[in-house]
Amino acid sequence: MNCSASLAKKHIEKTLFGRRQCRGLTDLRSNALNDILPKISIGEDKLNLDSSTNPSEFFERKYSEHWLEIGFGHGEHLSALMRKNPDTAYIGAEAFINGMSALTLDIKDENLDNIRVIMDDGMIIAKSIKPNSLDGIYLLNPDPWHKKRHHKRRLINQQNLDIFAKILKKDAPLIMSTDVECLANWMVTHASNHPEFNWQAESKSDWQTPPDDWITTRYEVKGAKNAKKMVYLLFERKKND
């Protein structure tokens, strides 16, 4: 194992909390996973955790924009975007094999040019890519951990927001959603207090109503335990450095 791969492995071991579980994949899903994942996976050599990789290096051709979605679940949002915007490149991370197998089954008959993924902690990608290189980030219902003792595991925290601010271009959106009230408060407080982000909401309806063309996922329809209403949190990376 080379140095960067071993670094990435240490990071993974430290952060994944054993989330890479598999609950009885069907043959269909397991075949799609075996067939498609190798074609769309980002190579370990590009995941050096040293802010040096241009996201365009993940793709075979040039794209007008590069977007990242961390924790894509079954991938409905990512695959819908990929189909809708063939000239935009999408990078996705999902730690669970069940989610990744659902995405690969969904897109197995598509042209796979504009999507690249890792089945791991999305922060590995975020820490590997160059500053000012992303056109947007989606973090949709990312943190299923509501309890206080799980706060350290949350994807939205000051340290990760620093990294998101670094890799987003100026004015680029950070789009988050959650249906758990305490997480919504947590996300708003952390992102609003961050010096590099502006919250775009001007009134209650801005965060209670899905943005135009919002793609609804199965999770969003089904809702989480203790969930009330979905909130849509649109932040923007500030212009100034």
Ligand X SMILES: C[S@@+](CC[C@H](N)C(=O)[O-])C[C@H]1O[C@@H](n2cnc3c(N)ncnc32)[C@H](O)[C@@H]1O
Site string for ligand X, 8-47 (x = CB under 6 A): -----------x----------------------------
For position 67 contacting ligand X by CB under 6 A, the verdict is: no
For position 207 contacting ligand X by CB under 6 A, the verdict is: no
Closer by beta carbon to ligand X, 70 or else 91: 70
Closer by beta carbon to ligand X, 92 or else 194: 92
For position 136 contacting ligand X by CB under 6 A, the verdict is: no
Show the DSSP H helices in the chain as ranges. Answer: 3-15, 27-40, 76-84, 97-107, 123-128, 158-167, 181-193, 204-208, 218-222
Q: Which residues contact 197 (CB under 8 A, 6 or more apart)?
A: 161, 165, 174, 191, 235, 236, 237, 238
Which residue of the set 120, 121, 135, 143 is catalytic? 143
C-alpha distance from residue 134 to each of 130, 173, 199, 207 (Å): 9, 9, 18, 23
| 143: annotated active-site residue | yes
Closer by beta carbon to ligand X, 12 or else 238: 12
For position 232 contacting ligand X by CB under 6 A, the verdict is: no
Closer by beta carbon to ligand X, 67 or else 219: 219
Judge whether 180 and 156 are in contact, CB under 8 Å.
no
Site string for ligand X, 138-157 (x = CB under 6 A): --xxx-x----------x--
Applying CB under 6 A, the residues found at the interface with ligand X are 19, 70-73, 93-96, 99, 121-123, 140-142, 144, 155, 217, 219-220
Report, as residue numbers or ranges, the catalytic residues: 143
